[in-house]
Structure formats: structure tokens, C-alpha cells
Chain A
Amino acid sequence: MYEIDAKNVYYRALNETIRSAIKNHNKDLVIENVCGQYYIGTGLSDPDVTLTIHGVPGNDLGAFMNGPKIIVHDDAQDGLGNTMNGGRIVVYGSAGDVLAYSMRGGSIFVEKDVGYRACIHMKAYKDMNPTVVVGGCAGAFMGEYMAGGTLILLGLTKDKNKAVTGNYLATGMHGGSIFIRGEVDDNLLWNQAMTIKPTDEDYKVIQENVKEFCNIFKNDYNKIMKEEFVKVVPKSTRPYGHLYIPGP
């Protein structure tokens, strides 16, 4: 274990320390007193590396990351897992806006809520299937332009009178699947996605990921699975195909 104290350290110096520690063959890094430093784990590729973060990391945590594991023992901020290609991020708390933007591989587990524009343009390719599991609720525009991957929203923090996501859920979605626990009001969806009942095959995916979620965050699996899920799917893989015609 390699300990780094981030107290009063500027992000650039902190990230340089992290990179040089990894270059010196440290695999298990613990970073204490983190307070809003940007870009932690950004661009790291070694799959054997684990970063354990105490405190709130700043924006773009794990951006362009391709392999390592990041565990955050607090809330996280915006841009978490931006264009992430592989690895895992676990947040014991809530995360900010633009979670997993254009994420293509790996997995993200967030214990509580996430902000606006989560999982925009997430995509899958062959055996790369990004997975995001959020325990709480989400803001507006969740899954916008989503092209692939799996997003599971459990709504455990849901207020009875409030919706589990904001408006414009899955606008422009053209691939992948979103599973939401409980009911989803059609008003949340715009016109490019619809809700269906998950198949048994879908439930296998849900069960597998919820089990993992419960293992990480010590939740009661049976209690979570008591409620049914809905699946949000795109109406078409080519939502805009009909809007354009060949020009002169």
C-alpha cells in the first residue's frame, strides 16, 4: 500500500505523484484528504492498480481511464468516468453531472444519486459492454443519445412524490438498455424511447449487477429485487434516418 496525502496539493502535482508512484510499481494507492482535485486516475491504463480515495475528488475522475479500479469513500463530482474505456469506479455516496459520458467499457457503481446527463452517448462494442449501476435517482437527460451498454437505476433514495429521473429520459437513444426499478412515468420519456417489460434474459443481467451492487454497498438483495423493473429501449437504431434525404 502506498499512501499519498492530498492536503493542499494542486491537482497537477497530485496526479504527477500518482503517475510516478504507479511507474515505481506501486499497485495499491491510498489517497487521503482529497478535496476537489481534478483528473484523478485520468488516462491510467494499468488494470492491476487500485486507487482508494478518501475525501471528495474533483471533476473528470477516471476520464479516458483504461483498466484501473477507483474506490471513492465519499461523494464524487462531475464528469466521472468520462470516455472511460475499461476498469471500475465505485462511489460510496453520490456523483455529479455528466457521469460516464461516452463510456465504452468497464463498470461504475454509485451508491446514491447522480446528477444531470448521466450516461450520455454511452456505447458498446463487441465484448466491451459498459455497465453503470446507480443506487439512487438521476437528473434530467439520463441516457441521452445512448448507443450501447447497460444502465441500471435502482431508485433506493426515491421520494414517494418525486420521479426517479428528471425529464427527457433517453432522448435520442439508439442502442443499449436502461433498467429502472419501479415504475417509469411515460411523461419522462420523449418520443425516441419506450418502456417494455424486461425478459428473463434481461433479469439475469439485472440480478447479476444488483448482486454485485449489494455486495459492494451491503444492501439487502432480496428487498431490492422485490420490486419489478422496467426496461427503456430505443424505438429505432436509426432515430434520425427518416429526417434526411439525399441532396441535389
Chain B
Amino acid sequence: MKWMKNLKTYTPPAFTVIRDDYRCIRCKACVEQCSFDATFYDEEENRVWNWDANCVSCNRCAAICPTEAITIEKRDYSYRRNYSWESHIDSLKKRAIFGGTPVVSMGNDKPYKIYWDHILLNASQVTNPSIDPLREPMELKTFLGKKPHNIEIGDDALKTILSPQLEIDIPIMFAAMSYGALSYNVVEALGRAAREMGTFYNSGEGGLNKDHYKFKGNIIVQVASGRFGVHKPYLDVGSAIEIKIGQGAKPGIGGHLPGEKVTETISETRMMPQGSDAISPAPHHDVYSIEDLRQLIYALKEATEYTKPVIVKIAAVHNVAAIASGVARAGADILCIDGFKGGTGASPQVIRDNVGLPIEFALAVVDERLRNEGIRQDVSIVASGGIRNSMDAVKAIALGADAVYIGTAALLAIGCTMCQQCHTGKCAWGITTQDPHLSKRVNPDIASERLINLLKVWALEIKETMGAMGINSIESLRGNRLNLRGIDLTDREMEILGILPAGE
């Protein structure tokens, strides 16, 4: 029997599913909905049982239960209290039992300090009137790309040839999440929302399904080290091309889509055999230096006849400022910095939880460095990795970003409950799975509407905050650190962030 407890591989369950037998009407909806084999029905006893060890606390069963009979509780450690060891006991045991390193998803979940929550925004009083965004025009439109150092005006027109730009109506784009990691309907929803809101979604490194070429004009295509699904029509359909060097959740680590997730349509999109592991090497093997990066940037520009901006995405790491300077000088039009709170579809846990930098610091030092070197206008900066709400976006822009990418936030809007099981391909909410039975749980009509709502609300919130500051254009907010103050931060932290303490 598959529910038999096996002491050889036993570690205590992390969650307990509590079922109120008085409320349970044996409809078996939870059994049908659970994709992790944590719920089953015993016909003889006419009872619904739970196998707690398999429960990931995705809350799908609790949400679907018509009589609200199910509660999921975090199990407290039953081991003897030990501050330094208790959260390591089971993870150590798992390594010893299975002989492999645990793979996890979503972003870093450790309680590191979140600097967004220690930054306060300013507002106008008396001297500089605040603006009401509901009655006065408020400009959120942004152009991403290389800006000229100076412009020349000819007889009656601009003489300077401008670099290609990405025009976005709101400074928020959907981050790179590939079809393969995400289900078909989620990609569809992201595309529709991006089109409706005048922004972009990013194909991720897994290529573009032929059905999604229709989103031309709202797609950023990604080129990563595995070059999956990269060919001329793919490069042509993108409004910009993003070279993925690194990802905040797993800096220095390549991609790895397990063979189980490489279904027929994924194999078609990635252009690789079904069932085989899709391995993206850790580095691009044609990029071992800034000079090589320049070569790849210009190869892509040549391949698309200099018609579109090239984005270079790097993970926030310790010497990010110097790297960013190199990337700007290598000819990137847009630089994306991904902080260590950024999500992933699969990453070794040790990497996700221990490597990288908070985006707040990375952004501040990169902006500072590029300004000091006089090359800030050569690249636009997109901040990503842990943008949780519209105020994080406002603070990011005030710290120096031109726009932000959201990934996890977009998935939450669609229904994600952050159970961190994306790598299993069993997402019970149908978001990160290729199982057709599960992926149909996302209705693209509803999902895109929710994404559109989210972006509209965030846009309103950004406008309200800008209005309060007396600013009517996102351009005036960018790099405007005078509107930020630090609270509960050390002097050194504020020095790095380039902001004053509250009260000063």
C-alpha cells in the first residue's frame, strides 16, 4: 500500500491536515484536487484520510472544500528545542537518506532584513503642493534603452539618431518565466495582460510556443546559455532581447528543467527531445569576459539589424557595481539586476538561501557607480527580485531604477499560494505544471483580468504616492533619493543606500 509509512525514509511531516468530520460531507473534492497524494478516500471506512508527510500546504483542498472542513496547520517541531540545530535536523537527514541535495522553488525564504520596509517616502506640505492624480495628468510612461549624451537639432528635426527604445505605459514588466516552468494558460494570461496594459512579458529561456507569437509587440525574448528555442523568428518576434547571465535566486548556477517536465509541447518549444533533461550550462560558453559579452550583444544586434534594445540580466552579487559598469560598457541598452529574493522554478536550496545581495543595495550601488562614471544614460536599469507591492516599485525607482520586473507577484495574482513546489511540476493551482489535468485549473480569461487589475491598482497607488510627493512624472522620481529616508538602519547601511536617516 502506497500510504505505508517507511521508517527508512521517514522525516516528520511539516504540516498537519485537520479535517472536521462533522463538516465533511465526503464529496471527495479534496481528493480529486490534491496533486501531491496527500489526500485519499477509504471506501470501506467511508472516510477521507490525509498523508501529512506529502502535504505541502498549498491550501488547494482547503480552498475547494465546500463545507470548510479542512484546516492546514504548520506542525511545530516535536524535537527537543535547540536553537542552532532544529531547522537543520530534517534537511540533514534528507541528504543522508536520499544522497541528493534538495531542490526548491520561489525565492529565498530566510528572515534576512528587507530594506524596503526600512525606507520611508516623503510627501509635500505647503511649500510644494501635492497633486491629485485623479484630477490632474500623471505620467507613468517610460522609455527603456540607451539615451544619447547630447542631442543635435537639424533644420527642423532631430539630427541625432536615437537608439531603439522599449516604450512602457507603466514602469512594471513581467519577469522572465519560461513556458515549461509555467503552464500554457499562465503564459497566455501574462501575454494578454501585458498587451492590455502596454507593457511586456518575458518569454524566459525556454523558447516561445508558436501560439504565443501573437503577442508580438509585448514580448521580451530571452537568450540564456542553453539557447533553447533560439532562432531567427524568435529573435524577430521580441521587442527586446534579454541575455540572461544570472538570476537572483541562483547566481552562478545554470538552469535545469527536469526530464519529467519536458513534455511534447515543451519539447517543441524548446526544440529538444522529449523526456531529456533541459540543461542550461552555468555560464554562456561563448561569454567568458566582458569583451565576449560585448560580442554576444552585438551578434544579437547584428542578427536583428540594430532594431531592438538588448537587455543583460545579471544577479545581484557582491561586486555588482563593477560588473554593471562592464555590462554598460559592453553595449547593453538595458541592465536588469535581479536581487536574491527573486524567484526560481528550481534551484538547489543552499544556493537560493545563501547566495546574492538584496536588490535594494545592488540597485543603489549600481546607480551610484554608473552616475559617477558618467555612463548612467547609456543603460536603463530594471530592478527585480522581491518587488512585493507598488511601494517597493516606487522606492526602487527612487533608488535609481527605470522600471521593475515582477514574477512572484504576478503568480500570486493568478492564485499561487507560495508553497514552493514549482520544481515538482505538480502545482495544484495549475500555475507551474505541464500536467493538462492540473494546468486547466488556470482560466486565462480570469487570470489575465486579475493581472490587469493588479497592474491598474499598482499604477494608481504609484500615482497617488507621486502626487503626494508633488511629482507628476515618473522621470522626476527616478533616482530621487531625497524623497527617501531610512528608519532602523545603521549609518553604513544608509550610506550604501545613499539615503538620509528619518528626521534629517
Please give the distance in Å from B289's CB to the nearest CB on chain A.
Answer: 12
B214 contacts partner chain A, Cβ-Cβ < 8 Å: no
Tell me the count of chain A residues lying within 8 A, CB to CB, of chain B: 48
B286 contacts chain A at the CB level, 8 A cutoff: yes
Question: Given the complex of chains A and B, what is the CA–CA distance between A92 and B248 in angstroms?
Answer: 44
When C-beta atoms are compared, the residue in chain A nearest to B348 turns out to be A244
Contact indicator A147/B276 (Cβ below 8 Å): yes
**Complexed CA–CA distance, A123 and B277 (Å):** 12
A244 touches B281 (CB 8 A): no
Interface segment, one of A198-206, A209-217, A234-242 = A234-242
Interface residues of B in 356-407 (CB under 8 A from A): none
B229 to chain A, nearest CB (A): 9
In this assembly, does B256 line the interface, its C-beta being within 8 Å of a C-beta of chain A?
Answer: yes
Contact with A along B11-22 (1 / 0, CB 8 A): 000100000000
Among B100, B225, B271, B302, contact of A245 (Cβ-Cβ < 8 Å):
B100
Contact B285 A101 (CB under 8 A): yes
Residues A174 and B277 in contact, CB atoms below 8 Å apart = yes
CA–CA, A244 to B255, complex, Å?
A: 13
Known contacts being A79-B286, A148-B272, A237-B259, is A245 close to B94, with CB within 8 Å? Answer: yes
Q: Which residue of B lies closest to A101 (CB)?
A: B286
B417 at the interface (CB under 8 A from A): no
Chain B residues near A125 (CB-CB < 8 A): 267, 271-273
A247 touching B423 by the CB < 8 A rule? yes
**Residue from B227, B276, B285 within 8 A of A117 (CB atoms):** B285
Residues of A with C-beta under 8 A to B91:
248
The answer to whether B298 and A174 touch across the interface, beta carbons within 8 angstroms, is no
Looking at A1-9, A60-68, A219-227, the stretch in contact with chain B turns out to be A60-68
Nearest chain A CB to B344's CB is how many angstroms away? 11
Q: When the two chains form their complex, are residues A247 and B276 in contact, meaning their CB atoms are under 8 A apart? A: no
Tell me which residues across on chain B come within 8 A of A147, comparing CB atoms.
272-273, 276, 279
Indicate whether A145 sits within 8 Å of B231 (C-beta atoms), given known contacts A42-B299, A123-B272: no
Which chain B residue shows the least CB distance to A19? Answer: B305
The chain A residue with its CB closest to the CB of B259 is A238
Q: Which residues of chain B in 213-227 are interfacial with respect to chain A, using CB atoms and an 8 Å cutoff?
A: 225-227
B295 located at the interface, meaning its Cβ lies under 8 Å from any Cβ of chain A in the complex: yes
CA distance A19 to B259 in the complex (A): 40
A121's contact among B95, B104, B285, by CB below 8 Å, is which?
A: B285
Query: Provided the pairs A125-B272, A242-B100 are in contact, do residues A43 and B303 lie with their beta carbons within 8 angstroms?
Result: yes
Tell me the interface secondary structure of chain A in the complex.
loop
Q: Which one of B105, B231, B421, B424 has the highest number of Cβ atoms from chain A below 10 Å of its Cβ? A: B231
Q: Which of B95, B100, B101, B279 contacts A174 (CB 8 A)?
A: B279
Distance, CA A42 to CA B299, complexed state (A) = 7
A158–B299 alpha-carbon span in the complex (Å): 33
Q: Are A246 and B272 in contact (CB under 8 A)?
A: no
- A54 vs B258: C-alpha distance when bound (angstroms): 45
B101 touches A244 (CB 8 A): yes
Interface check B102, CB cutoff 8 A: yes
Interface: A150 (CB within 8 A): no
Which chain A residues numbered 94 to 136 have a C-beta less than 8 Å away from chain B? 98, 101-102, 104, 117, 120-121, 123-125, 128
B299 contacts which chain A residues (CB < 8 A)?
A: 38-39, 42, 60, 63-64, 79, 82
Chain A 19-52 interface 0/1 with B at a Cβ cutoff of 8 Å (1 = within) = 1000000000000000000110011010000000
- The answer, yes or no, to whether A167 is at the interface (CB within 8 Å) is no
Question: Closest chain B residue to A42 by CB distance?
Answer: B302
Q: Binary interface profile of B, 198-240, with partner A (CB < 8 Å = 1, else 0)?
A: 0000000000000000000000000001110011100100000
Q: Is the interface on chain B under 10, 10 to 19, 20 to 34, or 35 or more residues?
A: 35 or more
Residue of B nearest to A145 (CB): B281
B98-138 with Cβ < 8 A to chain A: 98-105
On whether the beta carbons of B277 and A148 are closer than 8 Å, the reply is no
Q: Which chain A residues lie closer than 8 Å to B348 at the CB level?
A: 244
Q: How far is the CB of B133 from chain A (nearest CB, A)?
A: 43
A115 to B444, CA, bound (A): 49
Instruction: Write the nearest CB–CB distance from B222 to chain A, whole angstroms.
Output: 13
Within 8 A of A (CB), among B248-262: 256, 258-259
Name B298's contact: one of A39, A120, A124, A246 (CB within 8 Å): A39
Partner of A43, one of B14, B98, B295, B304: B304
By the criterion CB–CB under 8 Å, are A38 and B298 in contact?
A: yes
Q: Verify B231–A243 contact, CB threshold 8 A.
A: no
In Å, the complex CA distance between A64 and B235 comes to 9
Do A64 and B277 have beta carbons less than 8 Å apart? Answer: no
Query: Cα distance A246–B348 when bound, in Å?
Result: 9
**Chain A residue nearest in CB terms to B276:** A237
What residues on A are CB-neighbors of B102 within 8 Å?
244-248
Most chain B Cβ neighbours within 10 Å, of A83, A98, A104, A172? A83
The yes or no answer to A177 lying at the interface (CB within 8 A) is: no
Among A15, A102, A145, the most chain B Cβ lie within 10 Å of the Cβ of: A102
B420 close to chain A: CB less than 8 A: yes
**Shortest Cβ distance from B32 into chain A, in angstroms?**
23
Q: Does A165 contact B (CB under 8 A)?
A: no
Q: Which of B100, B281, B423, B424 contacts A243 (CB 8 A)?
A: B100
A238 to B256, CA, bound (A): 11
| Residues A85 and B303 in contact, CB atoms below 8 Å apart | no
- What 0/1 pattern do residues 262 to 296 of B give for CB contact below 8 A with A? 00000100011101110101000110000000010
Given A64-B235, A237-B259, 8 additional A-B pairs, CB 8 A? A15-B302, A85-B231, A120-B281, A240-B256, A245-B103, A246-B103, A248-B90, A248-B349
Name 20 interchain pairs, CB-CB below 8 A, sorted by A.
A39-B302, A60-B299, A64-B299, A66-B232, A83-B227, A85-B232, A102-B227, A102-B230, A121-B285, A124-B273, A147-B272, A147-B273, A147-B276, A174-B277, A175-B273, A175-B276, A237-B277, A240-B256, A244-B101, A245-B99
Residues of B within 8 A of A (CB): 14, 90-91, 94-95, 98-105, 225-227, 230-232, 235, 256, 258-259, 267, 271-273, 275-277, 279, 281, 285-286, 295, 298-300, 302-305, 348-349, 420-421, 423-424
